[in-house]
Structure 1
Amino acid sequence: MTTLATGRASDAAARRPAARLRGRRPTVDRPRRSPLLTVLAAVVLVYSLVPLAWLLINATKTQEDLFSSFGLWFGSSFSLWDNITTTLTYDDGVFVRWLLNTVLYVVVGAGGATFLAVLGGYALAKFDFPGKRGVLAVVIGAVAVPGTALAVPTFLMFSQLGITNTPWAVIIPSLISPFGLYLMWTFAAEAVPGELLEAARIDGAGEFRTFFKVSLPLLGPGIVTVLLFTMVATWNNYFLPLIMLRDSTWYPLTLGLNAWNAQAATAGGEAIFNLVITGSLLTILPLVAAFLLLQRYWQSGLAAGSVKE
């Protein structure tokens, strides 16, 4: 009897460390903490937020305070609202014109690129046709080609067509997004079940009705993700408008702010660095708002296809 009790006590003592070890084992709800990763995340956070803090702080300064005060602290006067008013009205309100131009390029260019990527990605994911493997190879190869490498050939081609120095010279190249097409292809392959499409076809729905009524609602997170990527790429596009546009009235915000910044280096030019900084702050606000409002959609879109069942 004593031996049996001793054996049970030994088994219980052996199980207690194992139970504590299992209790400490990382799970999905309680992941393992890594001090190194925490430090790296903090460094990346500081690296990302310091430029935004610098931009916000210096947008509140006058031209004189920019050079007489510390960069990461406020000046002697708070001039944010005056800077915003002057930025919107300077040179007959050309900043507003540049803003409207950028919105035009984003709505038509990024919106069109998203629509074409959705159509092409859905077709590649759910239809079989001759040459499909070749198309996929071309799409993947196009993702690796930087847009700047195609800017000069595109300019030469558009100059022959006579559409340089027009909004179409910026909009038409923006309609092609190989990465957006690839992302929608991988997302549609996982998000739209083939059985659901077959059921819709058996019920007599045509391909267009199946796409718009059945598939399109399921592609929502992927569409938002592609839209954000194409919108940011078009909003921040600099090199393509630089070589395509000569008329400043068609400039986007990127070129317009660069022209303001270069005024100080021209003969008789006026230094307006406070307006450049304030304009830069106004330029990034729509992108920040879009990411914050749509983050739950694009995060789920980026995670699509990461787990294979």
Structure 2
Amino acid sequence: MSFVIRAARDEDLQHLYEMAKLTGGGFTNLPPERDALRAKLARSHAAFARPDDGGEHDDLFVLILENVKTGEVRGTCQIFTRVGQTWPFYSYRIGTVTKHSRELARTFRAEILSLVNDLEGSSEVGGLFLHPAERAGGLGMLLARSRYLFMARNRARFADRVLAELRGVIDEAGGSPFWDGVAGRFFGMNFQQADEFNATHGNQFIADLMPKHPIYTAMLQESARSVIGLPHPSGRAAMRMLEHEGFAFEHYIDIFDGGPTMTARTDQVRTIRDARTCTLGRIADEGVDSIIATGLLADFRVTMGKCGEADGAVTVDPIAAATLGIGEGAEITHIAR
């Protein structure tokens, strides 16, 4: 395969900007603003350069999918070490209030949304975007699972719980029915304005302006109520991939668009749990289709290729070895596709 995933560099800024313009809105981790993307790259550089000091830092790692033959950047993804360390991490938790009337001999159950920080301190995988022209051949899967291999190879940097926020339902005009029915009533701005502000300034304004009392969903417009916990149609495949990795929807939703937040125990994520780390014995064109990673932090690289075991030695095919820049004796982490 001629594609490799690597740490983002400053010269990737224009490529990230061009991809951000293709997202269609509601993609907070990839805003179509150069200054915001430049700040993300700076934050990522600092994270890659930071030695493991045992602290709980809110670091961001930006990874890039590159065609090594053409040099084109065709995708990206992001990993956050511990959300909520710099500013609070908010979610709505879907809950139920039960009340009973003895006089009426009836029990009433009402669904409520509570503003919470329950997921603060979790790691987060997000910011995944693949250029529309490349949405074939398993590259989306490679991007998604590369994040887990990065976590596996740098495990001490990450929390014991990991989350993934899926974009919620966005209408044809780029608006959010959930935002219009809930938060938009308190902020005096539309969804796109709030989304852009959040992407560039953080979400402290949510804490400042959002009412703290629970919201009864029965009091919302049907347009807002009907999209609670639903992913954007383009995110359904991503939701299935997350479920395959062991993530589950545990009734947390995004405060902006109402999309589902999926969570998992980090060490139980399938790719992290089942990946094997070993020493490359020899280069040989045999084995099974695999995802293969090498290197730590800024030296981390991932590609797809054949990996197997022959005569007691772990093998990687020549193209994958060349793409990763490794030879016999290199440490690799691999998992079957």
Could you say which TM-score interval applies, normalised by the shorter chain?
A: under 0.3
Look at both structures and tell me which one has the larger radius of gyration over its CA atoms.
Answer: 1
Give the TM-score, by structure 2 length: 0.23
Q: Indicate the structure with greater helix content.
A: 1
Q: Which structure is higher in RCO with an 8 Å CA cutoff and minimum separation 6?
A: 1
